Structure 1
């Protein structure tokens, strides 16, 4: 005859199994939904993929193609990563499913999108803020701005993406600015309002 399982041990074993299963499913889901292929599977993301491919940020410091998650999610896994990933994933899914993804207004979206570009993601490639990507000293204006950002000459509450706009994506309405001319010249022409 079998010994009965002690009362308190069955729920603990069951809860442990459920937690481990949920953790495994979550890890698999996070991994599967963090690829560029997944991010750009929806047709409304194709323009962002094209812009990135022609941008100054097409590759990272190791010359590997930039992945969407390198900029749009925090560098390290933790509560902030889970919150960003969940919020952005649910929002994108709702717009794709229930909204009109061809009718989103990018000028408004730029402001909210910049809130989800973590400075640590930028600093993963741009470690020395006093030099440009060719390892040459930056301009005096850039030096003063970066000193303010670093807190050595005043302070600022602006993040990297607040000053460095249109470095990876360039909507048509921002292509007219001289500072974006080199990037804009590489991009295919698209309809106004996109």
Structure 2
């Protein structure tokens, strides 16, 4: 009788081996997944598409890239959240950039410029919605030494904080060229 029960079920040894295999596969998957995430956060990966080379050229002329301290912000520092959940959302939604590159929507400087206003506003809206979360991974109200700032900057930062503004409310165009607002005629043409 005892022998029949043993042969009908899975032995503890087999269960343990199955657990070890699944656990090991999970570790391998997690490792490869993190390697993939890291690879897609590099400046080289981000600027591999022709349209993103425009952004890189602009960034290279700003204080976020070249400065006295030698600290440079990368694409991921400003455009990819640090926390896992928001990072996954950003990575999934990034498909549209690749899609528009392949579709030819933004594959030349001229086409890119035609869409710059809309693209910038989408980024600005996202930054407002998350209280400039990626800016705050380097810059924080609490760590600002207002006394070391010019009087104008000190007054503006103090007012902005009191008014509940976020970084992007005042610092548009800090890392990329700020687009001109389209004329009403341009907007009407797009809608036709």
Cα displacement string for residues 76-129 of structure 1 (whole angstroms, at most 9, x for unaligned residues): 3422222222322x2222222234223351111112122454623322433345
Separation (CA, whole Å) in 2 of partners of 1:94 and 1:59: 31
Q: Give the aligned CA root-mean-square deviation in angstroms.
A: 3.0
My pick for the range that moved more, 30-39 or 137-146, is 137-146
Aligned residue pair count: 161
Give 1:17-166 correspondences, 5 Å limit. Answer: 17-59=24-66, 62-74=69-81, 76-88=82-94, 90-102=95-107, 103-104=111-112, 105-117=115-127, 119-127=132-140, 128-129=143-144, 131=146, 135-137=149-151, 138=153, 140-149=155-164, 159-166=166-173
Structure of higher CA gyration radius: 2
Q: Which has the higher helix share?
A: 2
Q: Show the counterpart of 1:154.
A: none
In structure 1, the residue corresponding to 2:71 is in which secondary structure? coil
Segments of 5+ residues of structure 1 without an aligned counterpart are 150-157, 175-194
